[in-house]
Amino acid sequence: MAVDLLLGLQWGDEGKGKIVDVLTSNYNIIARFQGGPNAGHTLVFNGRKHVLHTIPSGIFHDDATNLVGNGVVIDPVIFKKELDKLEEQGVDYRKSLLISRKAHIILPTHRLLDAASEASKGKAKIGSTLKGIGPTYMDKTGRNGIRVGDLELSDWKTRYRALANKHESMIAFYNVDVQYDLAELEKEFFEAVKVLKSLKFIDSEEYIYQAQKSGQTILAEGAQGSLLDIDFGTYPFVTSSNTTAAGACTGLGVSPNQIGDVFGIFKAYTTRVGSGPFPTELFDEDGETMAKVGNEFGATTGRPRRCGWLDLIALKYACQVNGVTQLMMMKGDVLSGFKTLKVCTAYKYKGEVIKHFPYNIDPENVEPIYTEFSGWTEDLTEMSETSQLPKALNEYIEFLEKELEIPITIVSVGPDRKQTIFRGQLVS
């Protein structure tokens, strides 16, 4: 069986967690392939909200196996907190949660390095979640990292000490004010490592290969969004992993010819948290309304998200880079009440009109050109069928499908599992 992918097409926070949760009953295995606790995947069901950071969003389904792939970076401390929350809710994760031996570990000093690096950048800071993601991937590519499988070796603490010492000298090199008590942080870290070690570590690429061979269905769950991809995102204001489809191949050990459907998730408007260019950003009442109605605050950091109109040029670019086969539009309900809606359908780039996503989208180079649509006033949150959707929303959806040449198969009208409208065949 091919592996299906689910990815965010914007700057993260598109609502991937909800859709994975909705789709999980179609799959035997849900696998995270990149990122780490910088992600915050929100799921709402039975009147309760759940936020997952590293654990795949299939964990609340009894029948699904949840795999943390080799491309993920794991902070044992945050991981333990997630497990504690699951335990409180009576979720029996022990038999359904598997961890790749090749996933890298975030050390306390990686988090400190993240803080020191950001502080040293001043106004040019990335706006990192400060979870140690960048420094951990730097150690991975620099061939210095500590992997989950290393925790099974007798000398891993010696290697830990050498790396942590090196990090401390790097923190001092930044010459910024980062206060810390490493002994305290390490106490918490080593306790959490014990818990991590009680879980099942596997050779995940072999596991996935055998699962595919035996006909099991697999959904790869992306984190962050395509415009935060280390190669294709708005560099340097990006995260440190490949958030796009290719990342699922390297982050799970799945070959490109084994990829099936690619589900692209996008919001009916755009948001961004952290620094970096955002051509359709709004600084007016419309932006404030989106933020308020859409409750646009980061699930991991609580930071307010920047809001703006849908950017079709950026969305088309993300669809191309990922090979998206089906689209899922989130938060359509947030746009109810806007008299007029705008969609960016071209950029004015250095005086020329262009229709592709260029190397540099800094505000001094790019000005969005908008197409306007009539809004609707109806509350969508109680709707459950396509036939109930307002005519103006259908026109908005059909315009996007025509421009992107990809069907929109889900329209989400609220955070709950139940607030999901299916517009066609999902799994092909």
Least CB distance from residue 306 to ligand IMP, whole Å? 10
Tell me which residue has tokens 């006909």: 215
Q: Which amino acid does the sequence have at 128?
A: S
Output the residue with the shortest Cβ distance to ligand IMP: 274
84 included as an active-site residue: no
The CB density around residue 184, as the number of other CB atoms within 10 Å, is 10
- Torsion sign over Cα 381, 386, 387, 392: positive
Q: Say how far apart CA 243 and CA 229 lie, in whole Å.
A: 5
Interface region with ligand IMP, contact rule CB under 6 A, candidates 8-16, 73-81, 183-191, 348-356: 8-16
Kindly tell me which residue out of 7, 113, 273, 314 binds ligand IMP, with binding defined by CB under 6 A.
273
Q: Which residues contact 204 (CB under 8 A, 6 or more apart)?
A: 31, 67, 69, 70, 98, 99, 100, 101, 102, 252, 253
The CB-of-303 to ligand IMP minimum distance in angstroms stands at 7
Which of residues 322 and 409 has its CB atom nearest to ligand IMP in the complex? 322
12 touches ligand IMP (CB under 6 A) = yes
- Only one residue has tokens 């035997």, namely 28
127 interacts with ligand IMP by CB under 6 A: yes
Across 71-107, b (16+ Cβ under 10 Å) vs e yields bbbbbbbbbbebbeebeeeebeeeebbbbbbbbbbbb
> Would you say 127 or 390 has its CB closer to ligand IMP?
127
* Member of 131, 140, 167, 331 binding ligand IMP (CB under 6 A): 131
Site string for ligand IMP, 51-80 (x = CB under 6 A): ------------------------------
- Copy the structure tokens of residue 373: 């649509």
C-beta of 40 vs 251, nearer to ligand IMP = 40
> Which of 13, 114, 311, 333 does the annotation list as catalytic?
13
Q: Does 274 bind ligand IMP (CB under 6 A)?
A: yes
129 binds ligand IMP (CB under 6 A): yes
Cα separation, 409 vs 154, in Å, equals 50
Amino acid sitting at position 359:
Y
The residue type found at 363 is P
Considering the rule CB under 6 A, would residue 7 count as an interface residue with ligand IMP? no
- Nearest distance in Å: CB 280, ligand IMP: 17
Residue 278, SS3? coil
Nearer to ligand IMP, 235 or 283 (CB): 235
Reduced DSSP (H G I as helix, E B as strand, rest coil) percent helix, strand, coil of the chain, to 5:
35, 25, 40
Q: Omega into 76 within 30° of 0, i.e. cis? A: no
Residue 167 beta carbon to ligand IMP: minimum distance, rounded to whole angstroms: 16
Q: Minimum distance between the CB of residue 198 and ligand IMP, rounded to whole angstroms?
A: 27
* In the complex, minimum distance from the CB of residue 296 to ligand IMP, in angstroms, rounded to a whole number: 11
CB of 12 to ligand IMP, least distance (A): 3
Q: Is 223 in the site for ligand IMP (CB under 6 A)?
A: yes
DSSP letters spanning 11-42: SS-SSHHHHHHHHGGG-SEEEE-SB-TT--EE
Residue 104 annotated in active site: no
Residues 224-253 that bind ligand IMP (CB under 6 A): 224, 228, 237, 239
Binding window for ligand IMP (CB under 6 A); candidates: 36-44, 104-112, 164-172, 308-316: 36-44
Active-site entry in 41, 50, 104, 167: 41
CA separation, residue 369 to residues 227, 310, 353, 360, 380 (Å): 20, 11, 9, 16, 28
Quickly list DSSP for 37-48: TT--EEEEETTE
Q: How far is the CB of 138 from ligand IMP (least distance, A)?
A: 11
Q: How many residues bind ligand IMP (CB under 6 A)?
A: 20
38 touches ligand IMP (CB under 6 A): yes
Binding status of residue 270 toward ligand IMP by CB under 6 A: no
Residues contributing to the site for ligand IMP (CB under 6 A): 11-13, 38-40, 126-129, 131, 133-134, 223-224, 228, 237, 239, 273-274
Catalytic amino acids? 13, 41
